Amino acid sequence: MMKNRYLPMTDQDQTEMLAAVGAETIEDLFQDIPEKIRFKGELPVSSKLDEYALTRHMSRLAGRNANADTHASFLGAGIYDHHVPSVINHMISRSEFYTAYTPYQPEISQGELQAIFEFQSYICELTGMAVANASMYDGATAFAEAGNLAAGATRRKKLIVSRSVHPESRQVLASYAHGLNIEVVEIGVRNGITDMEALAAAIGEDTAAVMMQSPNFFGSVEDIKAAADLAHAKKGLLIVSSNPISLGLLEAPGNLGADIVVGDAQPLGISGSYGGPTCGFFAVSKDHMRRMPGRIVGQTTDRYGRRGFVLTLQAREQHIRREKATSNICSNQALLALSASVYMSLLGKQGMLDVAQLNLQKSHYTKNKLTSIKGVSTPFTAPTFNEFVIKLPEGTNIDQLQSKLLDAGFIGGYDLAREYPEFEGHMLIAVTERRTKEEIDEFTGVLEGLL
């Protein structure tokens, strides 16, 4: 039993709780578990530690982790090592933001609502779309929800998705589609981008949407305009998942014919944090505004004519029309959306362009350096943004290579064979603005020595 006077776990507490459930001893609580399968003795765990000892112990364990601060990371594949300006953590640590979970009472939530409204506005500018929602759980969820929206809007039950889309996004889509009786057809890859001939042949009168990612999982830039023309010719929709940093440089998907644009806002000032949490964004043309999942913050005026913000277009999931809900998602990543808003506000238009150009230039410099190594080549010629694929010499054991790179102070790229067996011996390399010329040159030298 606890002996600390400030912790409510006294002998009297135990006696009263046992009496409330009709038991005399603690052992009585386990009487439904057969005696022969009960664990006897003490569990093989360490003895209890006081606060100071526990903190030191956990710090030592954390110090064994390799991370983007201790190692130069060339790993992307969905989570990227971008610079997180210090002002972001300062802002999201303010209690009025990190305690404002659900802003249902606009009269006391104006700051949170304004932050979300500005996030929506930034996303609309980046994507070239008319309306964005208050964020989604992550990019994969947003991608699957977009397929759901397309099926409902077109009243069709087939989604055509490129295999160049992130494997985890395709897995989430498959889970959604199974429950909604939607057929998902995958299209192969040619030269690192969607096979457009196969795509054209697959689209029919029953196609709800074509779903692609640009830059895609291989880092290659897709022909969004061509895909939009193919989808629209059969009255289907085009759904595009984008890296928001790339949109500082590339044409907005909405200007190229996309009907729905989604993605993950993690590159926008959100730390990788060993894989999450992140923040998804979701933007649509005006025609599909009322089918969007989640919530939307709108701008209005109060009785005195002053600008104000409210939750709007939320007649769904938790409120009314529950049987006609567009989605089961009724919340959002408000704190992480705030991180993205602060990031975009801090950088501005020129800053977003500058960061995108740094990613492009540094990744191409790295590609040229790596392919100068004997036996290393690029299997694709399609244009890339800040990720690219290299083919390693025949017989290279990528697991062993990764381990040796780690020992040398580098987090290597992603082994494509984990999800694409046809790309055995291929590695996906990511280069962000955080990588210096010295790190790139040293990485090249170490990799060459190991190969």
With CA atoms as reference, report the closest residue to 344 among 169, 115, 20.
115
* Cβ neighbours for 248, distance < 8 A, ≥ 6 positions apart: 126, 352, 353, 354, 355, 356, 357
Count of CB atoms within 10 A of residue 186's CB?
18
Q: Does residue 280 sit in helix, strand or coil?
A: strand
Phi and psi based region of residue 22 (left: phi greater than 0; alpha: psi -120 to 50; beta: remaining): left
Read off the pLDDT of each residue in 55-84 and give the average, rounded to a whole number. 94
pLDDT score of 112: 86
**Distance between CA atoms of residues 148 and 269, nearest Å:** 29
Strand partners, 390: 427
pLDDT score of 439: 98
Residue-by-residue DSSP string for 122-134: HHHHHHT-SEE-S
**Distance between CA atoms of residues 48 and 46, nearest Å:** 7
Average pLDDT, the chain: 93
| Range 445-451, long-range pairs (CB < 8 A, 24+ positions) | 446/405, 446/408, 446/410, 447/370, 447/373, 447/376, 447/401, 447/405, 448/373, 448/374, 450/401, 450/404, 450/405, 450/408, 451/373, 451/374, 451/375, 451/376, 451/392, 451/393, 451/396, 451/401
With CA atoms as reference, report the closest residue to 120 among 301, 343, 272, 340.
340
pLDDT score of 332: 83
Q: Which residue has the tokens 């025609």?
A: 287
Read off the pLDDT of each residue in 270-291 and give the average, rounded to a whole number. 94
pLDDT of 6 over the 70 cut: no
With CA atoms as reference, report the closest residue to 246 among 164, 356, 341, 351.
356
pLDDT score of 135: 93
**Distance between CA atoms of residues 301 and 44, nearest Å:** 63
Amino acid at 141: T
| Range 440-446, long-range pairs (CB < 8 A, 24+ positions) | 440/362, 440/365, 440/366, 440/369, 441/369, 442/72, 443/72, 443/74, 443/366, 443/410, 444/366, 444/369, 444/370, 444/372, 444/373, 446/405, 446/408, 446/410
pLDDT score of 101: 64
**pLDDT tier for residue 374 given thresholds of 50, 70 and 90:** very high
Cβ-contact 115, 121 below 8 angstroms: no
Read off the pLDDT of each residue in 50-75 and give the average, rounded to a whole number. 93
**Distance between CA atoms of residues 372 and 390, nearest Å:** 11
Read off the pLDDT of each residue in 359-385 and give the average, rounded to a whole number. 97
- How confident is the model over 154-191, as pLDDT tens digits? 999 999 999 999 999 999 999 999 999 999 999 999 99
pLDDT of 2 over the 60 cut: no
Angle at 289 between CA 283 and CA 294, to 5 degrees: 70
Phi and psi based region of residue 305 (left: phi greater than 0; alpha: psi -120 to 50; beta: remaining): left
- First CA to last CA distance, the chain: 59
**Distance between CA atoms of residues 378 and 225, nearest Å:** 26
* Cβ neighbours for 144, distance < 8 A, ≥ 6 positions apart: 169, 172, 173, 175, 176, 177
35 — phi, psi (to 5°)? Answer: -55, -40
* Cβ neighbours for 303, distance < 8 A, ≥ 6 positions apart: none
Domain ranges of the chain: 72-83+348-450, 86-343
**pLDDT tier for residue 353 given thresholds of 50, 70 and 90:** very high
Cβ-contact 78, 264 below 8 angstroms: yes
Q: Which residue has the tokens 């500018």?
A: 125
Angle at 378 between CA 171 and CA 139, to 5 degrees: 25
- How confident is the model over 96-154, as pLDDT tens digits? 787 766 677 777 888 889 999 999 999 999 999 999 999 999 999 999 999 999 999 99
- How confident is the model over 284-316, as pLDDT tens digits? 999 999 899 888 999 999 899 999 999 887 645
Count of CB atoms within 10 A of residue 115's CB?
27
Cβ-contact 242, 255 below 8 angstroms: no
pLDDT score of 213: 98
With CA atoms as reference, report the closest residue to 429 among 414, 445, 416, 444.
414
Question: For 72-83+348-450, which CATH class?
Answer: alpha beta
pLDDT of 1 over the 60 cut: no
The CATH number of the structural domain formed by 86-343 is 3.40.640.10
**Distance between CA atoms of residues 96 and 93, nearest Å:** 9
- How confident is the model over 22-40, as pLDDT tens digits? 999 998 999 999 989 988 8
